[in-house]
């Protein structure tokens, strides 16, 4: 099947075939992490739509919107190789009318942990994801656990606003040495990249422990030892559904999440672990 490039709602309606449709939302600069999401979508649905849109709404005024990597030709090759049916690539004018008024609020969940450092980010994410859902009308959508808080707020939106869409989470794809794949890794110098490895190392050290205090201490020690070359925004041990910090008595699945700047590149990563098992 020929890959279809859709630029707006009419193109999407024309491209739609019978059967289940899966959507994989991305900002492009596709890598193995995105490919694993696409494969999960393929395994579940009759038709796979990948959206490629660098969403201005989710970038703060001092963030990297203008320098975010855009690799359109390579992205199309990836989509062809993965058997994607439709690439949805709207331009910003198609998505956001100059006189638009209404948007989605992520509520309290959008203002904690990552949201505390990126005000408005999750509102921007939810607004574009809801618009993509309405335009593509998928039966299911696949998101990466790499952006664990994003996945949690999207699940919350689907529940709170009764969206008839199944949300699938996909495990984080890593380099053999542990670095989580990210479109932003290309900004890291060789030296920065070595330093960035301490992030996943800290998460693994935390995940080897069983109580919240020990998890936080073990991960914190690794980050402290890395010194000033890693500027940590947060190291948070949270409930995966609410992103609220867990207390010492918490038992069950938790997420240990970290955000830090290495060189000029801000990176996030997380690991899922079990606390106080019975």
Exposure letters 171-208 (e unless 16+ CB within 10 A, then b): ebbeeeeebbbbbbbebbeeebbebbebbbbbbbbbbe
CB of 26 to ligand AMP, least distance (A): 4
Nearer to ligand AMP by Cβ, of 92 and 210: the residue is 92
Residue 32 near residue 183 (C-beta atoms within 8 A): no
Nearer to ligand AMP by Cβ, of 56 and 220: the residue is 56
Nearer to ligand AMP by Cβ, of 47 and 149: the residue is 149
CA distance 150 to 249: 26
Quickly tell me which residue has 């904690």 as its tokens: 112
Report if residue 143 touches ligand AMP, rule: CB under 6 A. Answer: yes
Which structure tokens are listed for 26? 């991305």
Report if residue 172 touches ligand AMP, rule: CB under 6 A. Answer: yes
Q: Which of 21, 37, 79, 135 binds ligand AMP (CB under 6 A)?
A: 37
Report if residue 269 touches ligand AMP, rule: CB under 6 A. Answer: no
| Among candidate residues 70, 74, 82, the one with its CA nearest the CA of residue 3 | 82
CA distances 263 to 51, 185, 222, 249, Å, are 30, 11, 18, 37
Site residues for ligand AMP, 185-244, by CB under 6 A, read none
| Among candidate residues 229, 227, 232, the one with its CA nearest the CA of residue 257 | 232
Q: Which of 173, 223, 235, 256 binds ligand AMP (CB under 6 A)?
A: 173
CA distance 162 to 155: 10
Q: Which stretch binds ligand AMP (CB under 6 A): 15-23, 86-94, 165-173, 194-202?
A: 165-173
Active-site residue flag, 31: no
CB of 18 to ligand AMP, least distance (A): 27
CA angle in degrees (0–180, nearest 5) for 71-67-58: 95
Q: Which stretch binds ligand AMP (CB under 6 A): 10-18, 72-80, 112-120, 178-186?
A: 178-186
CB of 68 to ligand AMP, least distance (A): 9
Choosing from 31, 34, 108, 121, the catalytic residue is 34
- Dihedrals phi, psi of 223, to nearest 5 degrees: -70, -40
- What character string, x for contact with ligand AMP (CB under 6 A) and - otherwise, covers 16-35? ----------xx-----xx-
Query: Contact positions toward ligand AMP, by CB under 6 A?
Result: 26-27, 33-34, 36-37, 143-144, 146-147, 170, 172-173, 180-183
């Amino acid at each position: 099947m020929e890959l279809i490039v859709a630029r707006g709602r009419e193109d999407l309606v024309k491209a739609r075939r019978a059967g289940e449709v899966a959507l994989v939302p991305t900002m492009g600069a596709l890598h193995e992490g995105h490919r694993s999401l696409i494969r999960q979508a393929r395994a579940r649905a009759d038709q796979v739509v990948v959206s490629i849109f660098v969403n201005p709404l989710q970038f703060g005024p001092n963030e990297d919107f203008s320098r975010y990597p855009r690799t359109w030709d390579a992205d199309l090759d990836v989509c062809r190789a993965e058997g994607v049916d439709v690439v949805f690539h709207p331009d910003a004018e198609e998505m956001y009318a100059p006189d638009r008024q209404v948007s989605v609020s992520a509520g309290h969940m959008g203002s904690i942990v990552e949201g505390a450092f990126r005000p408005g980010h999750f509102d921007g994410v939810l607004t574009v994801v809801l618009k993509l859902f309405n335009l593509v009308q998928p039966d299911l959508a696949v998101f990466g656990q790499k952006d664990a808080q994003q996945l949690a707020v999207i699940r919350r939106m689907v529940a709170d606003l009764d969206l008839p869409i199944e949300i699938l989470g996909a495990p984080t794809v890593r380099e053999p040495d542990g670095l989580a794949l990210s479109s932003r890794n290309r900004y890291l110098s060789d030296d920065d990249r070595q330093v960035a490895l301490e992030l996943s190392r800290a998460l693994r050290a935390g995940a080897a422990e069983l109580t919240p205090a020990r998890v936080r201490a073990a991960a914190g020690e690794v980050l402290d030892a890395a010194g000033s070359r890693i500027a940590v925004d947060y190291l948070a041990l949270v409930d995966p559904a609410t992103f609220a910090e867990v207390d010492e008595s918490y038992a069950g699945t938790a997420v240990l999440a970290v955000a830090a700047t290495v060189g000029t590149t801000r990176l996030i990563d997380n690991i899922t672990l079990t606390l106080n098992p019975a």
